[in-house]
Amino acid sequence: MSRSPLILALHPTRRALLRAAPAALSLPFVTGRPARAATEKVVVVTSFPEELTTRYEQEFEKRYPGAHVQFVWKQSRDALAYLSAPNQSGADVYWAPSIGNFPILRDRGVFQKISVDRAALPGKLGAETLSDPFFEAYDVAGYGVAIAPALLKERGLPTPKRWRDLASPAYAGHIAAPIPSRVGFAPALYDIVLQAEGWESGWALLSEISAGAELLASGPGPTANVREGKFPLALSIDFFALQEEANGLPVAFVYPERTAFLPAHVAMTASTKNPALAKAFIDFSLSRAGQKLMMEMDSSRHPARPDAYVGAPANIVDPFALPQSAIFPYDSEVGRRRPGLVNLLFDLALVEPHAEVATLWRVIRAAEAKGAPQAAEARRLAGLVPVSTKDADSPAFLEGFASRDSKDDAVVDAFRKTLADNRARATALLADAHP
């Protein structure tokens, strides 16, 4: 069984929003580097948790004894505004798991190009592009299913191998799943399903899976429910499950066929006052030693550097060694524009009417078991969303859902009515086939 991590940035619980590193000692840099003033610092905007940033601070400052690392913690939306301000608000480096922010900031002229060794950092995972001349992949996170192996066995359930397996009636009531409008990593998780299965087929599949799932508003919640024995399965990001497993808890992680690993990035700001130290921090985070730090027990993340997997913990899968059929070339340019639309449709189609959707799918399955001819059309209506594949791929259309303020209330109301009408039509079709 394959297993591995991803990267939801959590608010540090013990660190203030602006935290300076401990006072640096008045010592020169390591041999071979010019001596610098002990007050020299690099300002790094991040949303990574404290247990990870502290390790990088400590190790970087060991290598650069005159350096002072200052982390500024910002969630994605706040980081976008902070780094778009004049002179990038004084930041030197942006280092975060925010697949949407980096291209936007690049296009606003916030970054300068960085150079990396492509022999060590390919910038690709199979056919999927991970990097850009203005920002480099720091790690990759996998999406899939957190499982409690013993609980699965106890309930007589097989380990799922494909996304579609989760729609089986056997799994109904045994799955925890995140609500994408409330959980940072979830829009990407569901968009992976939508891209892997196709927009229309993907929504039909998500509808059927969600009908039998407990929908949760907390990022760690689905995996925590698996750890606590409440559910044997949870749609999640590998980081949460692998961290639990590394600490000896009864949790594992499964990568369904045709999943994807999505990158976190690091970049240097255009207005940095200390480009040499900013580059040094970036180079360290991408070095083999720096990449290995993220695989420690309290992080359990996947390096973007293939040679860092030598000697990796047993529970961390090397995605660069997986067969290409196991993952698919996720289109991050499309994916980064979709969260607003995915969030809205998921809320309207699956969260608001969840009880009704669950009942409808039970009736559809019962009608199918009886061989009712109207079941096929009812199934189509139950999984239908009021957005075409063409629109779902259109940057201009997606821009209308990029933020809460950009949504047209009339459009939202029309979506809600169309979805309700579809459910009503499906229910009416099956009225005579109800068990």
Per residue in 82-131, pLDDT tens? 999 999 999 999 999 999 999 999 999 999 999 999 999 999 998 899 99
Question: At residue 28, does pLDDT exceed 50?
Answer: no
What integer is the mean pLDDT of 381-391? Answer: 98
Tens of pLDDT along 307-330? 999 999 988 999 999 887 788 889
* pLDDT on residue 433: 62
* pLDDT on residue 325: 77
Count of CA atoms in the C-beta half-sphere (13 A) of 293? 17
Domain ranges of the chain: 18-140+262-323, 337-435
Using CA atoms of 141, 144, 146, 149 in order, give the dihedral in degrees to the nearest 10: -120
| Max avg pLDDT among 74-78, 85-89, 215-219 | 85-89
Question: At residue 153, does pLDDT exceed 50?
Answer: yes
Q: Compute the Cα dihedral for 196, 197, 202, 207 and give only its sign.
A: negative
**Encoded tokens for 50:** 């404290």
| DSSP at 28 | P
Q: Which residue has the tokens 């960085």?
A: 114
Which own/partner contact pairs does 191-194 have at CB distance under 8 Å and 24+ positions apart? 191/335, 191/338, 191/339, 191/342, 192/143, 192/259, 192/260, 192/262, 192/330, 192/335, 193/163, 194/338, 194/342, 194/392
**Encoded tokens for 428:** 């009416």
Q: Quick one: fold of 18-140+262-323? A: D-Maltodextrin-Binding Protein; domain 2 (3.40.190)
21 CB contacts (<8 Å, ≥6 apart)?
41, 57, 61, 68, 69, 70, 71
Q: Which residue has the tokens 């916030």?
A: 110
What integer is the mean pLDDT of 186-215? Answer: 97
Give the Cα-Cα-Cα angle 11, 259, 331 (nearest 5 degrees). 85
Give the Cα-Cα-Cα angle 42, 91, 28 (nearest 5 degrees). 10
Burial of 362 (0-12, 13-18, 19+ CB in 10 A): middle
Burial of 413 (0-12, 13-18, 19+ CB in 10 A): exposed
